């Protein structure tokens, strides 16, 4: 039996809807396997700005600091492309958590369920055997150029010689590269033993350094095969031969874009979980932040239409990486697959002959099957 403290930060839009399902699943695991989870809940994002004056209050931050794991929903109001300068910045909650807790490695598993291959825009024969994990660097790169003091500060737009110009800085230190590359090799050692390191070394100095570090770290892992791949080639091969990949490690922005592309292998961004990890240890593993890859999806918020799978699988990652409960994590993953195999789908992955269910019902189906597992 395990005891753990989990802080749940549902956030905005569909965040609370999908997080509620993930929490239901954690409660079912607690009951079914005899653990004790103390759960705290906190505000982040727009509600926190409105009622507590910042995207994450000091009190909520301290509650997080005293937890073994954080279960996060999503923050943000409008689609990212429509945001205006000077508006509220709900995403600062996430930036602060990532920065102050040192979450530098973002794990994003992509494993389309065979029963739902039809939800993908790729042909089923292309998907067969697809099972990969992205390890995205999360604490540096373009996202943090010019942001040393204010994480999330937008890039600098300035006037020079009568023209308007903008600048972003892509900076990586050797240490920042090495620690995330080591995580990738460790993950690969526990899987099929192959790392694909993705960069743009034909253009970017930071990528040249990235390659040097990967070559050096690889020498410490003779049992793991590795290759370098340019990011443009990787974008192409992800949809041509996705099953060739095992572990993909890459810098922050490339990882952001490639994982959205890879989410389409499963048919919807609503299917993908993530784990953000640093170095702080818990009794069962590493302190981490777990969240679906998607955003607050304001276009479908409040309609019981969000796919909860990404959030529920994030809870499975939480059980595995922060609480050391591998059997329970695998049971949650298997149960999600069973529900999909039995023909239930959220609207984003629906296909002919399947039963479309809402967010709540999808969560209930997972919980019922989990509780009934032998």
Q: Which positions are catalytic?
A: 143, 200, 232, 256, 260
User: Is the CA virtual torsion 74, 78, 83, 86 positive or negative?
Assistant: negative
329 annotated as ligand-binding: no
Q: CB under 6 A: which stretch of 110-118, 188-196, 241-249, 296-304 binds ligand NAD?
A: 296-304
CA distance 224 to 104: 22
Q: Is 363 in the site for ligand NAD (CB under 6 A)?
A: no
301 annotated as ligand-binding: yes
Q: Which residues contact 304 (CB under 8 A, 6 or more apart)?
A: 17, 358, 359, 360
Task: Give least dist CB 359 to ligand NAD, A.
Answer: 8
What is the separation, in whole angstroms, between the first and last Cα of the chain?
Answer: 18
CA distance 303 to 347: 11
Q: Is 268 in the site for ligand NAD (CB under 6 A)?
A: yes
Q: Is 120 in the site for ligand NAD (CB under 6 A)?
A: no
Q: Is 340 in the site for ligand NAD (CB under 6 A)?
A: no
Task: Give least dist CB 299 to ligand NAD, A.
Answer: 5
The binder of ligand NAD chosen from 74, 147, 318, 339 (CB under 6 A): 74
φ, ψ for residue 143, nearest 5 deg: -65, -25
Which one, 14 or 238, has the nearer CB to ligand NAD? Answer: 14
Binding mask 77-116 for ligand NAD (x = CB under 6 A): xxxx----------x--x----------------------
Task: Give least dist CB 64 to ligand NAD, A.
Answer: 15
Taking only Cα atoms into account, the Rg of the chain, rounded to an integer number of angstroms, comes to 20
Q: Show the DSSP H helices in the chain as ranges.
A: 15-33, 46-52, 58-65, 92-100, 124-127, 174-189, 205-218, 231-240, 252-263, 309-321, 326-341, 359-372
Which one, 176 or 256, has the nearer CB to ligand NAD? Answer: 256
Q: Which residues bind ligand NAD (CB under 6 A)?
A: 14, 18, 74-80, 91, 94, 268-270, 291, 294-300, 306-307, 310, 348
């Amino acid at each position: 039996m395990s005891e753990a403290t989990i802080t749940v930060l549902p956030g905005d839009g569909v965040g609370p809807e999908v997080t509620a399902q993930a929490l239901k699943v954690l409660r079912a695991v607690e009951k079914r396997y005899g653990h004790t989870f103390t759960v705290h809940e906190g505000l982040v994002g727009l509600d926190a700005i409105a009622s507590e004056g910042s995207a994450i209050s000091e009190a909520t931050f301290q509650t997080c600091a005293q937890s073994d794991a954080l279960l996060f929903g999503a923050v943000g109001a409008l689609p990212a492309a429509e945001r205006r300068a000077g508006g509220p910045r709900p995403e600062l909650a996430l930036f602060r958590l990532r920065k102050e807790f040192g979450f530098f490695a973002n794990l994003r598993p992509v494993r389309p369920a065979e029963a739902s291959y039809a939800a993908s825009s790729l042909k089923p024969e292309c998907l067969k055997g697809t099972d990969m994990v992205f390890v995205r660097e999360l604490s540096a790169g373009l996202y943090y150029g010019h942001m040393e003091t204010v994480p999330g500060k937008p890039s600098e737009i300035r006037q020079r010689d009568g023209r308007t110009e903008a600048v972003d800085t892509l900076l990586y230190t050797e240490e920042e590269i090495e620690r995330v590359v080591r995580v990738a090799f460790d993950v690969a050692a526990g899987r099929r033993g192959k790392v694909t390191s993705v960069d743009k070394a034909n253009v970017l100095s930071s990528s040249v350094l990235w390659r040097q570090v990967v070559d050096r770290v690889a020498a410490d892992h003779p049992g793991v095969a590795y290759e370098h791949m340019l990011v443009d080639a990787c974008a192409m091969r992800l949809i041509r031969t996705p099953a060739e990949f095992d572990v993909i490690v890459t810098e922050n922005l490339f990882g952001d874009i490639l994982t959205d592309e890879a989410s389409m292998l499963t048919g919807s961004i609503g299917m993908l979980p993530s784990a953000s990890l640093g170095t702080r240890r818990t009794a069962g593993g590493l302190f981490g932040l777990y969240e679906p890859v998607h955003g607050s999806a304001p276009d479908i918020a409040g309609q019981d239409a969000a796919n909860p799978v990404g959030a529920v699988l994030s809870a499975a990652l939480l059980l595995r990486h922060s609480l050391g409960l591998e059997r329970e994590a695998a049971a949650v993953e298997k149960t999600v697959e069973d529900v999909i195999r039995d023909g239930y789908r959220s609207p984003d992955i629906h296909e002919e002959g399947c039963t479309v269910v809402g967010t709540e019902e999808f969560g209930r189906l997972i919980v019922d099957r989990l509780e009934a597992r032998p």
